[in-house]
Amino acid sequence: MSFFKRLKESISSKTEAVTTVFKEGLTKTRTAFVEKVEELITRRKKIDEEFFEELEEILIGADVGVNTVMELIDELRKEVKKRKIEDAAELQPVLSEKLVEMLRGQEDPRLKMAESGMTVILFVGVNGVGKTTSIGKLAHRFKSEGKSVMLAAGDTFRAGAIEQLEVWGQRVGVDVIKQHSGADPAAVMFDAVKAAKQRGVDVLLCDTAGRLQNKNNLMEELNKIFRVIQREVPSAPHEVLLVLDATTGQNAMSQAKLFGEKSGVTGLVLTKLDGTAKGGIVIAIRNELNLPVKFVGLGEKMGDLQQFDSEQFVHALFAGLIQKETEAETN
């Protein structure tokens, strides 16, 4: 059975609505990346050094990242030799297979939840990446699963951050614990954890400051927040999610390295994937950092924050090819 056929069968057991969200959200990347690969294969036919050089350029252009591209090209060269592939068209499913392997990784993309009692999830990330929106959408997701949710407005430094979180709280129908602008974020967390425990809340989602003068300030602030939360809930925070804007490409990679080293990040949320043709950054981040991508933002709607799924991602990228293969088989 071909790789694309196996992938299609694997996807068929998953929700059609989710498959559609992935397909629509990755339209720009599919156009910029896969269609260029298709064009290269149609034009070149033969696999030679120039073919690999052009493929390399396409992958780097889609923000797959130089290190990851080199690794991928090496893997493809080995497969070409091993399988004695001569026709370029035969390389497409091999490329897809390698991408699934790179994206899958070892870690479980599902969120770690508390075994009993309240789950506390901390969000970190610089301003403007879609952190507050991600918190609101995740609150909506939990609420639609029947869980009770509370939000903590710990980004007390950015003008409008508290109000923005309150708007999301109203939209989703969940309480927001806040203090005045400029208040100590750790004090907000203290109030939020206390209130959430008293009300028997299932999930507490905590916003944190996206901008402090330097790394040390940021890390001191986060450490203080950790201590305050752990005093009340020793096993918390259960997740520390770093929110990154996919449209910033390699800049997002730099932020992931900076935060990942210092702040106990356990997973990533990649926003605005629908707004970029450079969705390859997901592959670069997944391959070069030892951090699982937990969620991806694939549109503006409430339900467009989706749990990351490597098969859905690759299926959405190669949807056109899979469709062609299916049609060829039925004709």
pLDDT of 161-176, one tens digit each?
Answer: 999 999 999 999 999 9
Residue-averaged pLDDT of the chain = 87
228 and 254 assigned to the same domain? yes
pLDDT value, residue 321? 62
pLDDT value, residue 134? 96
207 and 231 assigned to the same domain? yes
pLDDT value, residue 277? 85
**Inside any domain, residue 1:** no
- pLDDT tens digits, 266-283: 999 999 999 988 888 888
> Poorest-confidence range of 102-106, 136-140, 181-185, 299-303?
102-106
Angle value at C-alpha 123, between 305 and 157, nearest 5 degrees: 120
pLDDT value, residue 213? 45
136 and 236 assigned to the same domain? yes
Residue 144's H or E segment, with its range, is helix 131-144
191 and 287 assigned to the same domain? yes
20 and 155 assigned to the same domain? no
146 and 292 assigned to the same domain? yes
Which tokens sit at 20? 């559609």
Contacts of 193 (CB under 8 A, 6+ apart): 120, 152, 204, 228, 229, 232, 233, 236
Domain with residue 136: its CATH number is 3.40.50.300
pLDDT value, residue 329? 58
- pLDDT tens digits, 241-275: 999 999 988 888 888 887 776 678 899 999 999 99
191: containing domain:
119-309
pLDDT value, residue 271? 94
Nearest to 294 by CA among 70, 141, 67, 176: 141
Is the per-residue pLDDT at 327 higher than 70?
no
**Inside any domain, residue 10:** no
- pLDDT tens digits, 213-233: 456 677 788 889 999 999 999
136 and 97 assigned to the same domain? no
CA-based torsion, 160, 163, 168, 171: positive or negative: negative
**Inside any domain, residue 146:** yes
- pLDDT tens digits, 182-191: 899 999 999 9
Nearest to 64 by CA among 33, 94, 93: 33
Is the per-residue pLDDT at 207 higher than 90?
yes
The structural domain count of the chain equals: 2
In the chain, the amino acid numbered 120 is V
Residue 325's alpha-carbon distances to 52, 155, 273, 318, 320, in angstroms, are 24, 49, 26, 11, 9
77 and 192 assigned to the same domain? no
Higher pLDDT pick, 234 / 251 = 234
